[in-house]
Structure 1
Amino acid sequence: MSWRYLCLVLFLGFESLSAQTDLEKYNVNWETQSKNSAESMPLGGRDIGLNVWVENNDILFYIAQSGSFDENNTLLKQGRIRLRLSPNPLEVNFNQLLRLKTGDILIRGGKKGQETEIKLWVDVFSSAIHVQVNAAQKIESEIFYENWRFEDLFPKGRENNMNSWKWAPPTEIVTKSDRFEVSPSVFYFYHQNTAETAFDTVVEQQQLTAYKDSLFNPLKDRISGGALSLQHLEFKDTGFGKYQNTAFKYWRFSSKAARSHHFQLALYNGQNTLAGWKSTIVKRIQSPVRKSAQSKTLAWWANFWNRSHIKINYEKGEADLGFRIGRNYQLFRYMLACNAYGEYPTKFNGGLFTYDPVSVDSIYTFTPDFRNWGGGTFTAQNQRLVYWPMLRSGDLDMMPSQFDFYNRLLDNVELRTKVYWGHRGASFTEQLENFGLPNPAEYGWKRPADFDAGMEYNAWLEYQWDNALEFCYMIFKYYRYSGQDISRYIPLVESCLTFFDEHYQYLASQRGRKVLDEKGKLVIYPGTAAETYKMAYNPNSTLAGLRRVASELTQLPDILLSAERKEFWKEFLNRLPEISFREMDGATLIAPAIVWERMNNTESPQLYPVFPWDMFGIGRDSLSIAKNTYLLDPDVQKFRSHVGWRQHNIFAARLGLIDEAKDLLSKKLDDSGRRFPAFWGPGFDWVPDHNWGGSGMIGLQEMLMQEVGDEIYVLPTWPKEWNVDFKLHGMDDNILEGAWKENEFIRLEMKNRTKKIIK
């Protein structure tokens, strides 16, 4: 592709792409019923996720809500709904359709002239689930609420991977039973955390009991659950059953025969009294159902889809690989939007759409609450890949939940730094609990008596504090994209940098007389390049992050950071070592670090200066060094893969390696092999694997658009044979829209502000 400089807003071809893109071909349409929950469709909105499927003529869906953490820090599902119609129209002419444009699912069936349509949708503005039945003849409905936590459960062995205990529970673990109440107008189902939770155990384990009352505790008094409106429903009975391998209890409600039925459930979780929780949920469930509720939700989805899109070979249909990649990009973006406004960020290990684990792996004969790598435990190395693509897609309103997650924990992590080491700064560890302390299994129960109490006794995670820097940089990007006020996050960013500055001087003082090296530079030792290059000396992934975040601080306007503080961070930049390199086969490569003791994992952090840290790549100095690193570093090539969180597709896109990027993207975003095309995984995590989808989204976006200073590179790593129609966002309010067809641009437009386009 030839490179040309265009200094004006460029428009080539036909009509603007400002109108909402056509999504109809990307709808998922099933004409046969599902075998089980593994063949479910995702549905959601605001902070709710449902897995919807039809099995043996029953409509079923699992219910999940962001933030529903129990005593063990499991992210609980809120039960399962089964809808049964009589006479049952789904026995003939069955159809189940996910409509992306309107964010709903339509299920149809019935003989000609006697069709019935069931629509399921979630109110984006009130955390309410709606089921609407419209039939040509009168039919009766039965709703079963099904729950497997009707009694105490005792997870053992691998099943504790779903909570904070993982492989090392300190005692016998109990999943406490839920509570259920049938009133004349409402059926309540909820889980109320008991007084003692994982928080209490972890605080004691990590020698912070004296400070317990001053620590933020998200598990205390948390109640999660919901309510079913009993308007037009009559309670019939309870009973027991078994689905997959899990016993459950059901509560059955029935309606009188009618041509139309409307059932409503509402969810709510928070730290509240039971009376307060009930008051909130009743207001949600008893508020009149108005047409405006659905119209507002439809308007939200219309706006969401109008923000951005990527369509590849759209005219060819799903037999074409490029079409499937474009469709699956859109499907996964839709899945992320189902937790647009959750109290907690979308989890990398399944989001809100996990299902019966035995359908993922036959040895996991556990309840539907199960997921690998915990519910309230956050793994930043994976989480970041879920949130980076929201910048280019323009989904900026969905990002604060991830930033607020860290901001809520700031006081806790600063306190632990002060207690353990006597200095300042935020020590965010990897495998972080939602109250800011290290996961107890990763922290280690069997620790040497004299081992540093602030450290995780863990070969993979020791000295890994730099992942929080990536979210700091993401905050600055969010600011550049949106112009939103980020003043509430500046203390978080400064504290993350302060930790490195003060902690590594502290460690140097423990080794010897000097806290800086002979050049007056900070020494990052012991450090770690991701989880791979351990006990490293000046790991480049950490140095690149420190340099990038500190540099961003120095460029903030005075209204966000004082001149005095900016001058301090300029001095900090001067204390940071330079990026190190190594020679291999006569070529210069970015080194993982100056030296390291061992390798523990299979990441490629020597390329983190390419992504996420924006130091090497197309349009930047030393592109050849970064290419050498990708092509010649034996570890990079050995670990090269598309699976899970691996991000070689992103590196290849950033470096202009078209064939590599296409090959890896094709494996990343092709159909998952499961009935729903975007339920990838388990990879290294779980199903659906959200960091698999997120890394695929990022790589695809980078193949289409890269931004370097005042320049925007269009299609820098694009296979010429793929037609594409796209709308993506850039910094400073730029929106780039274009269409590439039959080896040429037929349309290219940049809106809002002028930047130099290179194509």
Structure 2
Amino acid sequence: MFLVFFVSLWFIPTNAFSQEKELLNNNVTWTTQSKNSSESMPVGGGDIGLNIWVEKGEIYLYLSRSGTFDENNTLLKLGRVKLRLSPNPFAGKTFKQELILKDGYVQITGTNGNLKAEVNVWVDVFKPIVNLEVKSNKNISLEADYESWRFEDRITKGKENNQNSYKWAPQGIVKTFKDEVSFQGNKVEFFHQNKDESVFDVAVKQQALESYKSVLFNPLKNLIFGGSMQGENMIIGKKYVGQYLSTPFQGWSLKSKKSSITNRITISLYTSNTTLEEWKRGLSALEEKGKVDYDVSLKASQTRWNEYWDRSFIYISSNDSLANQAGKNYQLFRYMLGCNAFGSSPTKFNGGLFTFDPELTDTTLKYTPDFRNWGGGTHTAQNQRLVYWPMLKSGDFEVMKPQFDFYLRILKNAELRTKNAWGHNGASFTEQIENFGLPNPAEYNWKRPADFDKGMEYNAWLEYEWDTVLEFCMMILETERYNANNIQEYLPLIESSLTFFKEHYTYLANQRGSKALDVNGHLVLYPGSGAETYKMAYNSTSTIAGLKSVLHRLLELKSATEEQKKKWQAMLKTLPPISFREFAGKTTISPAKTWERINNTESPQLYPVYPWGIYGIGKPGLDTAINTFKYDLDVLKFRSHVGWKQDNIFAARLGLTNDAANLTKAKLKDSGRRFPAFWGPGFDWTPDHNWGGSGMIGLQEMLMQCDGKDIYLFPAWPKNWDVHFKLHAPYQTTVEGTLKNGKIENLKVTPESREADVIYVLK
């Protein structure tokens, strides 16, 4: 039974909260060096992610950046940097490496006898420049090495092709083409220039879209990415060869002209769809920016990270150590997401910007550091959504933009694909979709019957699954409701996604018979899919719930015209009802009206609970939704905390405190790797970002749920978990509070007018 009552609020000065001290307690500190890249620490900003570790007295960095896709759509790293100091402060007995969350950088210190040194590594949030600053109490010399494993063309075979868009179905020989690396003056310059033909061309031909090719968006065309490394007081050193783990490489060294107590290295990273001459000019201009206002730039980046942490947080203090781990890892994973705030591409679910040598995840995969399972430019929408949903309550609206723009860029391609395949309107976004808007070619399948529907993926898991785009449409709409974002540019995307379902299922019904609607005037959503699990579904619950929720949300838009509202209302009337079934005499939500087979282990019968919010606390039918969680035999069989599983979120939304707490603790506990938030591989890869995202969502939903203007606090929160939190709610509202010993000690709601909408829920 729930105790529900409106809480009286009082306001306190912001400095009464100890947020800065709590954040400091979430720093990650190591006092011993690492064994290899799997024991690396993430650091980043803007759209750059670095893996940094110290191994045998040398500092290593993997360089990653959003949008660096090669001809095969592999998300290539930009190389590895190695730093050596002489005499070496890291050859002594005193060592520390710390991720300083508040300011968004890593600091490495070491003492060797009387020599002391400090190395600060940070990424400029507003310019794609990596900075390394070395300070010491005595003069030291520096050697900075740039290392590349792409010094020659490399044929990728077998499972290694899972890093690209060919995956298990390569067409002929697949090569990762070499980079160009050279000394230029007193710097090392490196770049990858995509060749004229790419997997885009292969997919267009495969999917019979060559007549549209000239107008299709192609992000791989003329793409050049890379950068340069240079430093104050640095000159050209040697070129050398070596091997790290199973991967041979070549290296280019810069070395100190003379020893000094201060040394700086800058790595400028530049990406553009252009000519090589123009790319070099762009890189040169970026390098000049990196030479000026170093301290001002550092301060600006630190200020941005300070603002990021002030925006939202969850700090847990409990006798339950796993609860404390969940709170800390929430912060660590949010930091990783913030490193791609301004990326040209979304944060990938299968490792983001922080993958490392694959054989350290799976010893059989002795591939290069470019490898990640499930592709680089391929997006699996069911996974991607879990990376981005938690950003609403954390208030990270600008970090959501790369994901929204991903769909906006490929909208026309998806519409042309629909028109070409079926002759009707609307954008068809498949579940495994390329960054150019077409189905992944391996999933589309080359071994398909000659007369098979050319708009369909010939794949038992993915067929007829195209409703996940509705979740991204809803996220866009929610940024308007949460933050008053202007979303006009995205409305064509939302409307086209809805149009597809209306026109396609009318089209399919007309193919089968003389009536486009059923006896009740509803669309016949067949064939459909309940996630990847319930296949050949008739009236899939996840699809119905998504369509209804998006349409209802559109009708709330103040900017909508009467004509638009009439159109949306008319479509709402054509949507069939959600179906139900029984277990142990209990009514439960059914995944669909009927289905032919089960392919995976998702529970889309609970999607009306999350993300769609049709059932939940304070709403009709809560008992039916709880029955589904407790008695549905598929739901029980599929339950887990691993990877993209979202049972913790369902439990939280249903107010099932013990289940929510246990599942969320299991999901957000330390990863078992040196960096606590490097979960995985789960079902995907390491670090598993949809594992972290679903953990974040669950913790947020345990603390706060929103329905219309109502704000429910602690709907599934254990009374013995003390917490200090700040979360965002709709209508430009923030809620900050402290729960101690089961009681609210203070609560601050901004604006004050929203205090009347807060409902305190205690189980």
The question of a shared fold, defined as TM-score above 0.5 by the shorter chain, is answered with yes
1:258 alignment counterpart: 260
1:364 alignment counterpart: 365
Output one character per residue of 1:282-318: Cα deviation in whole Å (capped at 9) or x when no partner.
111122331110010110011000001101117x7xx
**Residues 213 and 21 of structure 1: is their aligned pair in 2 closer, same or farther, counting only changes over 3 Å?**
farther
2:71 alignment counterpart: 71
> Residue 713 in 1 paired to residue 712 in 2?
yes
1:274 alignment counterpart: 276
Counterparts of 1:149 and 1:101, CA distance in 2: 35
1:292 alignment counterpart: 296
Any conservation in 1 of the 2:187–2:235 contact (CA below 8 Å)?
Answer: no
Equivalent residues in 2 for 1:208-357, closer than 5 Å? 208-255=209-256, 256-287=258-289, 288-290=291-293, 291-313=295-317, 320-357=321-358
Any conservation in 1 of the 2:723–2:740 contact (CA below 8 Å)?
Answer: yes
Any conservation in 1 of the 2:231–2:264 contact (CA below 8 Å)?
Answer: no
Counterparts of 2:443 and 2:302, CA distance in 1: 44
Output one character per residue of 1:187-232: Cα deviation in whole Å (capped at 9) or x when no partner.
2100000000000000000001111101000000001111112542
2:118 alignment counterpart: 117
Counterparts of 1:731 and 1:502, CA distance in 2: 32
Residue type matched to 1:354 in 2? T
Residue type matched to 2:38 in 1? A
For residue 14 of structure 1, report the CA deviation from its aligned partner. Answer: 9.6
Output one character per residue of 1:247-277: Cα deviation in whole Å (capped at 9) or x when no partner.
0000011012111101101112121111111
Question: Counterpart of 1:67 in 2: which secondary structure?
Answer: coil
Deviates more, 1:19-28 or 1:621-630: 19-28
Residue type matched to 2:89 in 1? P
Any conservation in 1 of the 2:22–2:315 contact (CA below 8 Å)?
Answer: no
> Residue 58 in 1 paired to residue 62 in 2?
no
Residue type matched to 1:42 in 2? P
Any conservation in 2 of the 1:9–1:751 contact (CA below 8 Å)?
Answer: no
Any conservation in 2 of the 1:223–1:270 contact (CA below 8 Å)?
Answer: yes
Equivalent residues in 2 for 1:308-707, closer than 5 Å? 308-313=312-317, 320-557=321-558, 559=559, 561-707=560-706
For residue 714 of structure 1, report the CA deviation from its aligned partner. Answer: 0.5
Any conservation in 2 of the 1:425–1:502 contact (CA below 8 Å)?
Answer: yes
Residue type matched to 2:5 in 1? Y
1:172 alignment counterpart: 173
Residue type matched to 1:160 in 2? N
Any conservation in 1 of the 2:538–2:593 contact (CA below 8 Å)?
Answer: yes
For residue 233 of structure 1, report the CA deviation from its aligned partner. Answer: 1.2
For residue 278 of structure 1, report the CA deviation from its aligned partner. Answer: 1.2
Q: How many residues align?
A: 754
Counterparts of 2:577 and 2:309, CA distance in 1: 43
Counterparts of 2:478 and 2:450, CA distance in 1: 43
Unmatched segments (≥5 aa) in structure 1: none
Any conservation in 1 of the 2:88–2:112 contact (CA below 8 Å)?
Answer: no
Question: Counterpart of 1:158 in 2: which secondary structure?
Answer: helix
Residue type matched to 1:508 in 2? A
TM-score, with normalisation over the residues of structure 1?
A: 0.98
Counterparts of 1:16 and 1:468, CA distance in 2: 42
For residue 757 of structure 1, report the CA deviation from its aligned partner. Answer: 1.4
For residue 322 of structure 1, report the CA deviation from its aligned partner. Answer: 1.9
Output one character per residue of 1:5-38: Cα deviation in whole Å (capped at 9) or x when no partner.
3377554899654965631111111111100000
For residue 708 of structure 1, report the CA deviation from its aligned partner. Answer: 1.2
Output one character per residue of 1:600-622: Cα deviation in whole Å (capped at 9) or x when no partner.
00000000000001100111111
Any conservation in 2 of the 1:228–1:285 contact (CA below 8 Å)?
Answer: no
Question: Counterpart of 1:252 in 2: which secondary structure?
Answer: strand
Counterparts of 1:474 and 1:701, CA distance in 2: 16
Deviates more, 1:285-294 or 1:375-384: 285-294
Question: Counterpart of 1:77 in 2: which secondary structure?
Answer: coil
Counterparts of 1:216 and 1:700, CA distance in 2: 38
Counterparts of 1:717 and 1:230, CA distance in 2: 53
Counterparts of 1:11 and 1:640, CA distance in 2: 41
Question: Counterpart of 2:489 in 1: which secondary structure?
Answer: helix
Residue type matched to 2:311 in 1? R
2:22 alignment counterpart: 22
Counterparts of 1:629 and 1:722, CA distance in 2: 27
2:43 alignment counterpart: 43
Counterparts of 1:97 and 1:232, CA distance in 2: 27
Counterparts of 1:21 and 1:713, CA distance in 2: 27
Deviates more, 1:459-468 or 1:105-114: 105-114
Question: Counterpart of 1:119 in 2: which secondary structure?
Answer: strand
Any conservation in 2 of the 1:38–1:355 contact (CA below 8 Å)?
Answer: yes
Any conservation in 2 of the 1:582–1:590 contact (CA below 8 Å)?
Answer: yes
For residue 727 of structure 1, report the CA deviation from its aligned partner. Answer: 0.6
> Residue 732 in 1 paired to residue 731 in 2?
yes
Question: Counterpart of 2:66 in 1: which secondary structure?
Answer: strand
**Residues 7 and 661 of structure 1: is their aligned pair in 2 closer, same or farther, counting only changes over 3 Å?**
closer
Residue type matched to 1:198 in 2? V
Residue type matched to 2:367 in 1? F
- The Cα RMSD (Å) is 1.4
Deviates more, 1:279-288 or 1:706-715: 279-288
> Residue 747 in 1 paired to residue 746 in 2?
yes
Output one character per residue of 1:369-401: Cα deviation in whole Å (capped at 9) or x when no partner.
000000000011000000000111111111111
Counterparts of 1:434 and 1:548, CA distance in 2: 27
Counterparts of 1:488 and 1:681, CA distance in 2: 36
**Residues 12 and 633 of structure 1: is their aligned pair in 2 closer, same or farther, counting only changes over 3 Å?**
farther
Counterparts of 1:622 and 1:599, CA distance in 2: 26
Counterparts of 1:478 and 1:532, CA distance in 2: 30
Counterparts of 1:329 and 1:595, CA distance in 2: 39
Unmatched segments (≥5 aa) in structure 2: none
Counterparts of 2:247 and 2:193, CA distance in 1: 22
Counterparts of 1:13 and 1:284, CA distance in 2: 42
Question: Counterpart of 1:81 in 2: which secondary structure?
Answer: strand
Residue type matched to 1:313 in 2? S
Runs of 4+ in 1 over 4 A off after TM superposition: 7-16, 18-21
Counterparts of 1:102 and 1:409, CA distance in 2: 35
Counterparts of 1:549 and 1:133, CA distance in 2: 52
**Residues 263 and 13 of structure 1: is their aligned pair in 2 closer, same or farther, counting only changes over 3 Å?**
closer
Any conservation in 1 of the 2:737–2:747 contact (CA below 8 Å)?
Answer: yes
Any conservation in 2 of the 1:13–1:747 contact (CA below 8 Å)?
Answer: no
Counterparts of 1:21 and 1:73, CA distance in 2: 43
For residue 526 of structure 1, report the CA deviation from its aligned partner. Answer: 0.3
Deviates more, 1:22-31 or 1:153-162: 22-31
TM-score, with normalisation over the residues of structure 2?
A: 0.97
For residue 585 of structure 1, report the CA deviation from its aligned partner. Answer: 1.9
Any conservation in 1 of the 2:86–2:142 contact (CA below 8 Å)?
Answer: yes
Counterparts of 2:10 and 2:95, CA distance in 1: 48
Any conservation in 1 of the 2:90–2:112 contact (CA below 8 Å)?
Answer: no
Residue type matched to 1:438 in 2? P
Any conservation in 2 of the 1:416–1:454 contact (CA below 8 Å)?
Answer: yes
**Residues 221 and 465 of structure 1: is their aligned pair in 2 closer, same or farther, counting only changes over 3 Å?**
same
> Residue 89 in 1 paired to residue 89 in 2?
yes
Counterparts of 1:13 and 1:79, CA distance in 2: 47
Output one character per residue of 1:332-361: Cα deviation in whole Å (capped at 9) or x when no partner.
000000111100010000000000000000
Residue type matched to 1:43 in 2? V
